[in-house]
Amino acid sequence: MFNLLQIEWLKVKKYNTFWVISVLFLILIALTNYFIISGIMNAGAKGVSVLGADYSFSSVWNKVSYITKVFSGLLSVIIIILTTNEFQFRTHRQNIIDGWKREQFFHAKWGIVIVLSFIVTLYALLQGVFFGLTGGSSFADICNNFINVLYVFILELNYFGLALTLSLFLKRSGMVIIIFLLYAYIVELLLNQFLSVKLHLTLGYYLPMDSSANLLPVSKVEPMSSMVINSAYSTQVLMFVSICWIAAYYVIGRIKMLKSDL
């Protein structure tokens, strides 16, 4: 895997688009976190403050992980661009011609998914530590709600894995980005509503992206919302379902990569 990632690094390190998009995301995520944790951005009106400034680690981990989730759909565009570039330039063929197995090409892309998921999680972790400590929280409290950082990692693997799988099947960047974002922000919401409101099923919680998104619900940031949002699921089940989806992306993508013409 290390050798595969070394080659992927050669491809990425001179790709300005990747760096510009990545830096923009890093800045915007940090700014959003700062605005929410410090209370500059708030919910409520006419003097009513729902959020308020709260630098306790318990609150910081909730907020940082939730904001990272909000950005993750858009962050997945990076995976889509890096994968569909190979099809656009036809370098996926050349990589195989030059000596990679198809499996290695596939694993190299999953390597990027894992590394980016790790980096995003690490970034969330560093932000949490920074905002918590600079806000005056005690280091002894750092473990309060720290589990959210693990949820971020699972969520990133899920979102990025889905983005990779769609890219392997559809191959064209524009089409993949539009379909992915429509699914992430519209289709799954409609499906969820249909399943829960029309059919009275809780299956909507376990849809591909929702299974991870529900690990980091809005109630983590805005506690009052928990009064109107039904939480009829357990985090253990959500984690299990998320991991099942990630495994499904891997299997489906692998079959596609190994069996089809390039």
Partner 1 sequence: MQPIISIKNISKSYGPIKALNNVSFDVPEGSVFGVLGPNGSGKTTLLAIIMDVLQADGGSYRWFGGMAPDAARRQIGCLLETPNFYHYMSAYDNLAVSAALKQRGIDDRLRVLGIVGLTERKDSKFQSYSLGMKQRLAIGAALLDNPKVLVLDEPTNGLDPNGIAEIRELIRNLSKQGITIIIASHLLDEIEKVCTHVAILKRGNLLLTGPVNEVLISEDQIEVMGGDLHTLEPTLKAMPGVTRINKIDQVLQLTCSENVTTKQINEYCISKGIVLSHLCLRKKSLETKFMELTNK
Query: Which residues in this chain contact partner 1 in the complex, by CB under 8 A?
Result: 6-7, 10-11, 14-17, 85, 89-91, 93-102, 104, 259-262
Cα 219 from Cα 43, distance rounded (Å)? 13
CB of 21 to partner 1, least distance (A): 13
Q: Long-range contacts for 94-98 (Cβ within 8 Å, ≥24 apart)?
A: 96/262
Judged on CB neighbours under 10 Å (0-12, 13-18, 19+), 258 is exposed
Of the pair 10, 227, the CB lying nearest partner 1 is at 10
> Would you say 103 and 258 are in contact if contact means Cβ atoms under 8 Å apart?
yes
Of the pair 14, 200, the CB lying nearest partner 1 is at 14
CA 144, 148, 149, 151 torsion-angle sign: positive
Of the pair 108, 152, the CB lying nearest partner 1 is at 108
CB of 96 to partner 1, least distance (A): 6
> Would you say 217 and 132 are in contact if contact means Cβ atoms under 8 Å apart?
no
CB of 86 to partner 1, least distance (A): 9
CB of 89 to partner 1, least distance (A): 6
Of the pair 17, 49, the CB lying nearest partner 1 is at 17
Q: Which two tokens stand for residue 230?
A: 């039904």
